Structure 1
Amino acid sequence: MAHVPVLAQAAEEDRSSYGFTPVPSGAGMEAYVSDKLDRPELMAFAQVRVVDGRAVGHTALLHPRPWPGRDRLSAVEIGWTWLAASAQGTGINVEAKRLLFGYAFETLGVARVELKTDARNERSRRAIERLGAHFEGVLRSYSESWVAGEEGELRDTAIFSVVEAEWPSVKAAMVNRLAEAGRI
């Protein structure tokens, strides 16, 4: 909750890339963060820019799925991601995803991590593919649309994944991207 005022500022930098993503404006940020923190099926994180310690976005682990008959998870999803305009394209998303994928595979021991986006969101789809996630297809009329004017309608959802066997090579590619960009 301490990040709410700065996240509210970050969300207002340039809202043009939020057409497919629910990003609150102004006073709505407190309710948004509170909602995410109150959900037991979601681990919410502020994305904080290391160079200045400023919160510039949000991401989460969500929808944990247990292994049948076991006391551990088989899969999680990474989602609810948005970044301030000034943080987009800077590598912070790659850093955050490397940490989240690492936690999911190396700490939680999952077999699969999923990422989903509105099928029309080409920018998000390209970013997910650049992370090394495998495109699995489009689930038609799968989930709620966040596009203005489509309230109460369903969207087609593009689904991507990384499975446990792919994680070492995906991780290496992320680390190389970050090193080339001077981020690690």
Structure 2
Amino acid sequence: MKKIALISGSYSLTSRLNGLAAYAQSYFGSRARLDVIHVHQLPAGALISADYKDRKITEANKLVAESDGVIVTTPIFKASFSGILKTYLDLLPQHALDGKVVLPLALGGSPAHVLAIKYALEPVLSELGAQHIIQGAYTIDHQVKRADNGRFEMEREAARRLERALRQFEENLQRLEASPVISH
């Protein structure tokens, strides 16, 4: 079974960004083990002081290290990804994403910031060793609604884009598994 780490750069569990994470969990169902790292639930002191030895930080980093693929979700503010996400990404080892398939998903207030994934987030993911970055999906926040039951509902167009990105992510996970490993 594939292991996927989903790093959520949201600031709360009620954020509509969590609708993207819920969609990914629903998409994979029992086909993969999906571990969610809610960065805002990691110790603030450890994040701010860059305490990579903190137990909760090392546990989160272990989930990333043991994963086959990583999904990174973030709100987009002022044409960039969330600061809390950057704070956590700074605590990952330098080559933490090497050999992993990576999918960035973002939620923003308008289509004006759609390129933030490409020009703000992807360079940081590349710096962490990501070589297999799948084209991300950008969702406008009004396309994700909070339902009365605490769940999220996605507008059809946004769901189609997410589904396409997740399918490409899954196909690349399978392709990477099938390719021979070359050791140096």
The TM-score by the shorter chain falls in which range?
0.3 to 0.5
Q: Report the TM-score when normalising by structure 2.
A: 0.34
Kindly indicate whether structure 1 or structure 2 has the higher relative contact order, using CA contacts under 8 Å at least 6 residues apart: 2
Structure with the higher fraction of residues in helix conformation: 2
TM-score (norm 1): 0.34
Between Structure 1 and Structure 2, the one with more strand by share is: 1
